[in-house]
Structures are given as C-alpha cells and as structure tokens.
C-alpha cells in the first residue's frame, strides 16, 4: 500500500497551493486530493468535512500513488500544530518536509482577509481583530462560525521560529527544507528546482509554474449558511457522511451566496505595519538565525 513520504507542512497563505500544484505535475510525484487532509494535526479542532482523521480513509487518498517516488500531501495547519511534527515522525521518520514562509506581518494580514472571506472572522478591520486577541485567548468574542479560537490568534500563528524548530527537532535539518514565498514569486524556476533536488527528483519539462491564488478577489461567504448548519445538526452530519471531496464541494456551493466582496489586494495601514514590524523584530531575528537566511528586509516596515 503506498504511503506518504513527503509533507508540505505550511505555513498557510505562504504559497503551499502553488507548491502543491507544481509538484503534482511532476511524473514521479503523487500529491493527494484533497490537498489538505489534516490527518496529523489532532490537537487542532476542525469541521469534519474539511479533514480526514480516519486512518483507512487517509490511506485511500494514496491508492493511486503506486510506483511514484514521492508521495505527499500539503496541510498548512501542521506547522502551527503542536503535535503534527511528532505524529508525522512516528508515522514516517524518513519523510521529507517542505515549509514555505513569508514576512509574518504580511502573513497575519493575509490570514485575516481569508478568515473574513470564509466567515471564520467577524471583525472586518485587521486592527480590531488584533485588539481582540487577548479576549479571544480567554475564549471570548469568538464568532459562532469559527472553526476554533486559536486560528484567530494571529500573532501566535505568525511565530514561525518555534514552529520550524519543532520540525527541525524531530526530523533534523537534512530532512526539512524552508523556502520563502517571496523567492517563489520572483524566481519560481529556481525555487522549484531546489525543491526537486531536495526530494532527489530530476527536473521535468512542461510544469506550469504560474502563481496560484495570486491577487484573487474572494466573495464574503454568508454567515447564514454556517448558522444553518450549526442549528440543524442533521445537515452537517449528512455532509460529513459524504466523501471529503464531495462534501467540500457541496459546502463551497452552499456558501457562494451573494455577499460583499473582499479584495485580497487591500493594503495594510502603514502605522499598523510599522507597529507590528517593531513588535516582531526579535521573532524575525530568531527565525533568520534558525534557517540561516538574512531577513532584514522583513524589518523595514514600509512595504
């Protein structure tokens, strides 16, 4: 039975969709559908229709991977999970792990926009969401539709150094590769080539390296859909009983009601960027030392 030996562990909003799409085009690679089965992040609550927690169902995702040298999946939640690195190592100690990161300030802003668009966040101003973090850490002011409160702690989710360190501690640096989203955007050919060498794969012609999810405008999903499913448990059970891909597709159709538009290209207020950059300088320095990469450009605070 084919088993995964490669994991794109995150971070969210850092190019994992592009990396997954690029790799699945390689003739010696198999990447799972759905992209994010989330099998190993059992410390993070999730709607059942968005994750695969049953071992047999998880292994069935790779039934068609026979003969492939690299068999993988891409669950960005693994990076923020406190248990995923350990659980993946127990399952596949020789596996290779790819981590993609970006400026943590941009990450937080982008994550907030995504959560507004998916109705996990009801505070539409980024500054209001940051201000609400202490209350939310105490279990207060949590939107009914939020998957779990921890996802709304933007600063916590942006502390990449300790997250990367968990994977280094388990797998060693030889089995973990860290790439930067900015490099992937500027020179995808070079970065993809580095990833292939990390995986021990030859280069392949015909791989479409165009960006995925770049500058897209997302529709704000209607809160009434989530409220409906929360009120009528039978509806949620019906969707959960379906195959993951089918249940996810139905959920997506349900939430594509009319609603206001959320433009992913909206800019952060300069003062907010300056304040957060100042706050995150020690975190950026720690990550820079950990991965051996100059990240001074992240500390400029005027992007």
Query: What would the pLDDT profile of 214-260 be if each residue is shown by its tens digit?
Result: 544 444 444 555 555 554 556 666 766 667 666 666 666 665 553 34
What pLDDT is recorded for position 146?
A: 84
For β-strands 70-74 and 176-180, DSSP reports them as unpaired
What does the pLDDT read at residue 238?
73
Classify residue 236: in a domain, yes or no. no
Q: Is 171 helix (H, G, I), strand (E, B) or coil?
A: helix
Residue 55, domain member (yes or no): yes
Residue 137: how many other CB atoms lie within 10 Å: 14
Q: Is residue 228 part of a domain?
A: no
The C-alpha atoms of residue 197 and residue 68 are separated, in whole angstroms, by 16
DSSP state, residue 215 = S
In a domain, 137, yes or no: yes
The answer to the question of residue 245 being in a domain is no
Owner of token pair 């695969």: 52
Residue carrying the six token digits 């088993």: 3
Residue 26 pLDDT > 80 = yes
Peptide linkage before 11 cis (omega within 30 of 0): yes
State the Cα–Cα distance between residues 302 and 94, nearest whole angstrom.
Answer: 41
Give the pLDDT band (50/70/90) at residue 104: very high
Residue 225 counted as domain residue: no
Reported as a single tens digit per residue, the pLDDT across 41-79 is: 999 987 656 789 999 999 999 999 999 999 999 999 999
Residue 121, domain member (yes or no): yes
Mean pLDDT over each residue of the chain, to the nearest integer: 88
Residues paired with 29 in a beta bridge: 70
In the chain, the number of structural domains is: 1
What pLDDT score was predicted for residue 260? 44
CATH number at residue 193: 3.40.50.300
pLDDT at residue 154, rounded to an integer: 98
Band (pLDDT 50/70/90 cuts) for residue 153 is very high
Q: And the tokens for 266?
A: 């909206």
Q: Say if CB 215 and CB 208 are below 8 A apart.
A: no
- Contacts for 210 with CB less than 8 Å, ≥ 6 apart: none
In this structure, is residue 24 part of a structural domain? yes
Euclidean distance between CA atoms 270 and 124, whole angstroms: 17
Please give the pLDDT value at position 220. Answer: 46
Question: Structural domain of residue 278, as residue ranges?
Answer: 6-220+260-299
């Amino acid at each position: 039975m084919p088993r995964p030996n490669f994991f794109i562990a995150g971070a969210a909003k850092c190019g994992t969709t592009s990396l997954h799409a690029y790799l699945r085009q390689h003739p010696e690679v198999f990447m799972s559908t759905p992209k994010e089965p989330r099998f190993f992040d059992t410390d993070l609550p999730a709607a059942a229709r968005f994750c695969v927690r049953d071992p047999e169902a998880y292994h069935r995702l790779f039934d068609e991977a026979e003969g492939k040298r690299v068999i993988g999946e891409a669950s960005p939640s693994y990076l923020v999970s406190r248990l995923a690195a350990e659980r993946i190592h127990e399952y596949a100690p020789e596996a290779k792990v790819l981590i993609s990161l970006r400026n943590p300030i941009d990450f937080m802003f982008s994550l907030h926009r995504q959560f507004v668009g998916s109705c996990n966040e009801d505070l539409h101003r980024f500054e209001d969401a940051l201000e609400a973090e202490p209350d939310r850490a105490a279990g207060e002011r949590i939107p009914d539709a939020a998957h779990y409160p921890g996802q709304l702690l933007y600063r916590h989710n942006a502390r990449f150094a300790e997250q990367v360190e968990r994977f280094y501690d388990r797998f060693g640096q030889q089995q973990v590769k860290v790439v930067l989203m900015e490099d992937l955007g500027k020179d995808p050919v070079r970065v993809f080539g580095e990833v292939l060498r990390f995986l021990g794969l030859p280069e392949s012609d015909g791989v479409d390296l165009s960006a995925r999810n770049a500058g897209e405008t997302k529709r704000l999903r209607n809160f009434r859909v989530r409220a409906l499913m929360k009120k009528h448990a039978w509806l949620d059970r019906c969707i959960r009983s379906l195959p993951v891909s089918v249940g996810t597709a139905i959920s997506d159709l349900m939430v594509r009601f009319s609603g206001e538009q959320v433009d992913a290209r909206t800019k952060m207020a300069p003062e907010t960027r300056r304040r957060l950059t100042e706050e995150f300088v020690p975190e950026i320095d720690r990550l820079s030392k950990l991965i051996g990469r100059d990240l001074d450009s992240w500390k400029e605070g005027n992007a």
